[in-house]
Amino acid sequence: MLSRARVVASRASFRTSVASRSLATAFNSNVDTSGIPIVDFANFGSLSFDQRRETARQVVDGFKNVGFVYLGNHGISDRIVQEAFKKSDEFFRLPLEKKQALAWEDPRSNRGYVQQGRERVTTSQDEAEIARLRASAPDYKETMEIGRDWDSRWKNMWPQESDVPGFKTFMLDFFQICHELHVRVMRAIALGLDLQENFFQEKINGQDHNLRLLNYPAVKTDLLRKDGQARAGAHTDYGSLTLLFQDSVGGLQVQNPTTKQFAPAPPIPGTIVINAADLLACWSNDVLRSTLHRVVAPPSQPVNEFEAVTPKRQSIAFFCNPNFDAEISCLPHCFGPGNPKKYDPVTTEEYIVRRLRETYM
């Protein structure tokens, strides 16, 4: 269970470096990040405006050039991240009937358990095409979706306390910790775009986010080699930002915006992968990129001379969204002569609910 003392300690650590050793290793390693920059976020807590602005510039440049950054010294301790993976694993080990009792029901709610094969992420918005992809090449993953717990319309779906002790308490605290990091990154984005640092504050304070626990079960590697098959197909995310926590297995690939080739984004200890999503791209008139990415099979493990198994993988995605009633329209400084507005205004809820309806059965 994540105690209040630990939550307070984690929030306080936003002002200090909690992963300096891991981040130093990342900077000095030979890890190929496929052009995704590693940004040390510690200086964004500085009293020096110049240091905050330089960090903000690095974050924004990463989203402009690649759509992704690795964020180090982000303030969420490794201990809390590992506890999140532990609780997630405990949930997915429950019998299927107990998980199905919490089944996802409505895209407006976007809460509950999604069994393997029900979602097929894709860039397509054609219902027939999505149905074909789901039937021929389903995503090999199961998920648990958690939203803000005080919502008056939509309720989270929790396992029994006796089945996964401490699950609800921990996940609600983790949700809040992730929201607070999201707020700080959005402050950096505002500063990096030459806006007032608190520009987004009233547009993101509703916490209309989605905490997604993902489990990619071990699967025969041959099944992942079918045409169009992946653990999660190529897609962009729907909201403003995604905070992605990876385990050590790997499999995330990001499309290079120039070559259009997919390249690995390997796990780097002490960092979170953060990507810009569709609504941030709309907000910024594509100044900030919502980049295609997918999850593919990491190296397989041989079972015998004829078969191999791709190992189990866990990840946790915190899908950051603007307030559901916020109108997303082009930001200042992101349009002008020779650079017209590309997108009509849309509310967060309109866009996200439409995309969820398209991708779920």
Question: Going from the N-terminus, what domains does the chain have, and what CATH number goes with each?
Answer: 4-359 (2.60.120.330)
CA distance 142 to 339: 41
For the stretch 54-63, pLDDT in tens is 999 999 999 9
CA distance 112 to 109: 9
CA distance 360 to 119: 5
Using alpha carbons, list the distances in angstroms from residue 169 to 7, 275, 288.
11, 27, 35
For the stretch 252-301, pLDDT in tens is 999 999 999 999 999 999 999 999 999 999 999 999 999 999 987 666 66
User: What pLDDT, on a 0 to 100 scale, did the predictor assign at position 296?
Assistant: 79
CA distance 163 to 92: 11
- What are the counts of helices (DSSP H) followed by strands (DSSP E) for the chain? 10, 17
Residue 118 has pLDDT above 80, yes or no: no
CB atoms within 10 A of CB 230: 22
- If one compares 230 and 149, the residue with the highest pLDDT of the two is 149
Instruction: Please name the amino acid found at residue 173.
Output: D
Pairing of strands 38-40, 68-72: parallel
What does residue 36 show for φ and ψ, rounded to 5 degrees? -80, 120
User: What pLDDT, on a 0 to 100 scale, did the predictor assign at position 128?
Assistant: 59
User: What pLDDT, on a 0 to 100 scale, did the predictor assign at position 243?
Assistant: 98
- If one compares 162 and 250, the residue with the highest pLDDT of the two is 162
Confidence of residue 14 (pLDDT cuts 50, 70, 90): very low
User: What pLDDT, on a 0 to 100 scale, did the predictor assign at position 9?
Assistant: 46
Kindly write down the DSSP assignment for every residue of 205-244, as one continuous string. TT---EEEEEEE--EEGGGGGSTT--SEEEE--SSSEEEE
User: What pLDDT, on a 0 to 100 scale, did the predictor assign at position 298?
Assistant: 65
User: What pLDDT, on a 0 to 100 scale, did the predictor assign at position 170?
Assistant: 98
CA distance 192 to 53: 7
Kindly write down the DSSP assignment for every residue of 311-342, as one continuous string. PPEEEEEEEE---TT-EE-PPTTS-BTTB---
**Structure letter (DSSP) for residue 36:** P
What does residue 151 show for φ and ψ, rounded to 5 degrees? -60, 135
Instruction: Please name the amino acid found at residue 138.
Output: P
Residue 329 has pLDDT above 70, yes or no: yes
For the stretch 200-229, pLDDT in tens is 999 999 999 999 999 988 776 665 555 444
Tokens linked to 43: 């200086």
For the stretch 59-83, pLDDT in tens is 999 999 999 999 999 999 999 999 9
